[in-house]
Amino acid sequence: MTKVKTEKVNAKACVFSVKGDNPFAFAKPAEGSDSKELKLSIVGYSGGVIENHWWWDNLVMDTSGVEFRKDKYPILFDHDTDQRIGFSDTPEVINHAIVINGGTLLDNEHANKFRQDCEAGFPFEASIRVEPLEIQRLGENEVAEVNGFKFQGPGTIFRKFVYKEVSACSFGWDSNTSSTVGFSKEDEVSYTLTEKETNMDINKWKTEDPEGYAAFCNSLTEPLNQQISELQTALTNKETELNTATQFSNQLEERINKLEREAMLREEQANQAAFSAKVSACLEKSGLPARLHNKFSATIKREGFVGEDGKFDDAKFNSFMESELKEWNEAIQPAVLGGGAGEFSKDEQKKDENDPASAFGSVDEYNAFRKRLGL
């Protein structure tokens, strides 16, 4: 059985913020039109749940019951009739949403300032004002059909209401309990409160219509499950992309290391070749017999002439080569002994007058020197 009674509420409780980004859209007049006025489009109400309103708590406005009683409607700033920024024809109801298409923006101080601030990026909110005629309240666990979905209480449904106007606001009005702009304390609206039999206790519904209840639950969970599935797929794809990127990075690093090693080896080979060329050039000029070149070269290493800064010390190399080659050349030069001055016997001198060992005074000392040179 339907229960009906009349209640009143202050008009400022019938103002609601429009949720969503960029509720205002500007458009130039159609081509061929004589009008130079800028057109304004607004989504006044999306048809969904207005959550946590300061007076009505959770609220849905049944747009099948909206009434438009005029041909023209104001577009205000902050619901203040002294701040008129535009006007519109009768709004349309599209997919349960109240939409203002082709509203006209006025050419005045308030409208021009609003347009400039919008173009500069200020995040204005839209706010719709209505006058409820018939209200349905839902208690805890009660469910009712509205705007194509099932609305679960506690909450309120405006089953019938009159559209009044839409405003641009710096801040929304859903939680505005103190502002009196555009309203006075005496502004009240009357409405009929109905408690319909269509209000169904959710536990009773579950028992009496398990299939309908299951369908309702699925209508809530299926979109969530779909979102979860899509997120899981996206996460898997990201993990695959990350693994691929990591593998490529490892391969690239390995290739770079290989190239660096090859470059270092080529540089070392080039340095050794240049060093060998330096040594050979010095040997060619030294007069040291060619049979001793390899033995001499084996006694010196390039590392001995490289400083801490990694640079080759030419001065140190040239000084070493000059001193060492001089010592080698002196070691192999024959010495002519003066009469009786040497310690070798005449027989030994006659054996080989060009023997270089005679320069050392004894064969043992000569052999020790040769051993030091690796000869």
- Residue 341 pLDDT exceeds 60: no
For CA atoms 225, 229, 234, 239, give the dihedral sign.
positive
Indicate if 26 and 151 belong to the same structural domain: yes
Indicate if 22 and 170 belong to the same structural domain: yes
Over residues 292-327, the pLDDT tens digits come to 889 888 888 999 999 888 899 999 999 999 998 888
Asked if the structure places residue 98 within a domain, the reply is yes
Asked if the structure places residue 243 within a domain, the reply is no
Query: The tokens of 235 are what?
Result: 């996460």
Asked if the structure places residue 135 within a domain, the reply is yes
Domain coverage including residue 75: 3-200
Asked if the structure places residue 52 within a domain, the reply is yes
Query: The tokens of 325 are what?
Result: 């080659």
- Residue 105 pLDDT exceeds 50: yes
Indicate if 46 and 156 belong to the same structural domain: yes
Asked if the structure places residue 62 within a domain, the reply is yes
Query: The tokens of 276 are what?
Result: 């060998």
Over residues 271-287, the pLDDT tens digits come to 999 999 999 999 998 88
Indicate if 49 and 168 belong to the same structural domain: yes
Asked if the structure places residue 28 within a domain, the reply is yes
Give me the residue label for tokens 């005496």: 186
Asked if the structure places residue 232 within a domain, the reply is no
* Domain limit, last residue, from 200, 231, 263: 200
Which residues make beta-bridge pairs with 86?
75, 105
- DSSP letter for 298, please: T
**Angle ∠(29,34,38) on CA atoms, nearest 5:** 30
Q: Give the pLDDT confidence score for residue 199 in this predicted structure.
A: 53
For CA atoms 152, 153, 155, 159, give the dihedral sign.
positive
Give how many domains the chain has, as a whole number: 2
Q: Give the pLDDT confidence score for residue 190 in this predicted structure.
A: 78
Binning pLDDT at 50, 70 and 90, where does residue 113 land?
very high
Over residues 205-249, the pLDDT tens digits come to 778 778 877 877 887 788 888 889 889 999 999 999 999 999 999
Terminal-residue alpha carbon distance, the chain: 126
Asked if the structure places residue 233 within a domain, the reply is no
Indicate if 173 and 37 belong to the same structural domain: yes
Binning pLDDT at 50, 70 and 90, where does residue 330 land?
confident
* Domain limit, last residue, from 166, 200, 234: 200
